[in-house]
Amino acid sequence: MATTITSECINCGACEPECPNTAIYAGGVPWELNGAPGPAIAQDIYYIVPSKCTECVGFHDHEACAAVCPVDCCIPDPANLESEGVLLARARELHPETTFPDDAPSRFRKEATGAEAPAANGAAVASAPAPKPAPATTAAPKAAAVAPAASAATSTTSAEFNPLAWEVPVICKDCNEPWTIPYRLFEKGVVFHCPSCSGSYVPKTAMYRAVKETFEGFYSRRRAEREAFERKRAREAAAFEAKQAAEMEAFKQKLEALAHSMKPAGKLVRPTGIASMFT
């Protein structure tokens, strides 16, 4: 079954460079095969030419376009069922210069082993049941899982209460190298490129949600704890000030009482001479 793009496509363009068969085109752009043109299949969204799609059989053990699509709109086309043999034959026809062994990378073989190809966010790529069993392959899936950002990134003073100061750690699906994307730019559907190999990295909806929830969960708890601490500190400061003021008042009263208790005994003696000038 060829892969198809649904109307949920947001035209981010991330899938097009991933296709090993140049089967993906922007809406309205005519496709071509060996110099022969064909009319655009879709006008407003990206589309896949079924006769050029091998579901990545021959190249990957998963559909490369589905792995990068941020809105999961690259799906198997139930109206276009095709076997692994047909797809491998198509790969050989499209790439006569390349030798594809019978056990070339294929999602079918992977599904037969019970392991599903992970998408860029670690979620399983939508796929049809394997039409036939095949020998297991040792090909490892390339997954770009979102790391727990807050725990993996380095804390800075500005990041103390500001999530926008963070860099989200990611792993390149192509070269497996780690790199980072500023959290303030980490949006679903935005195409980023690995600084090591220039491979694309497009946060999918689930990835974006996971990162956002990780940050919001961490910072909302942190802010709540800080606010509770500030309120407690303000209450304690007010109580301390009130205690100090009360003590000061008590001290004044004590001094007055002391003055009364120290009143000298004896007759009134009026000052005379220079001393009378100060009374």
Using the minimum distance from each CB to ligand SF4, give the nearer residue, 86 or 224.
Answer: 86
Mark out the alpha helices in the chain (DSSP H runs): 64-68, 84-94, 107-112, 149-152, 205-261
31, 41, 61, 65: residue in contact with ligand SF4 (rule CB under 6 A): 65
Under rule CB under 6 A, which residues in 195-224 are in contact with ligand SF4? none
Angle at 263 between CA 261 and CA 265, to 5 degrees: 125
Shortest distance (Å) from residue 7 CB to ligand SF4 = 10
Chain Cα centroid distance, residue 87:
34
Residue 122 CA to residue 61 CA, distance in Å, equals: 15
1, 31, 55, 203: residue in contact with ligand SF4 (rule CB under 6 A): 55
Q: What mask of x and - would describe binding to ligand SF4 in positions 16 to 35, judged by CB under 6 A? A: --xx-x-xx-----------
| Eight-state DSSP code of residue 139 | P
Pairing relation of β-strands 74-76 and 3-5?
antiparallel
61, 63, 84, 167: residue in contact with ligand SF4 (rule CB under 6 A): 63
Residue 235: C-alpha distances to residues 222, 224, 241 (Å): 20, 17, 10
Under rule CB under 6 A, which residues in 66-95 are in contact with ligand SF4? 68-71, 73-74
- Report the interface residues with ligand SF4, using CB under 6 A: 3, 5, 9-15, 18-19, 21, 23-24, 46, 48, 53-56, 63-65, 68-71, 73-74
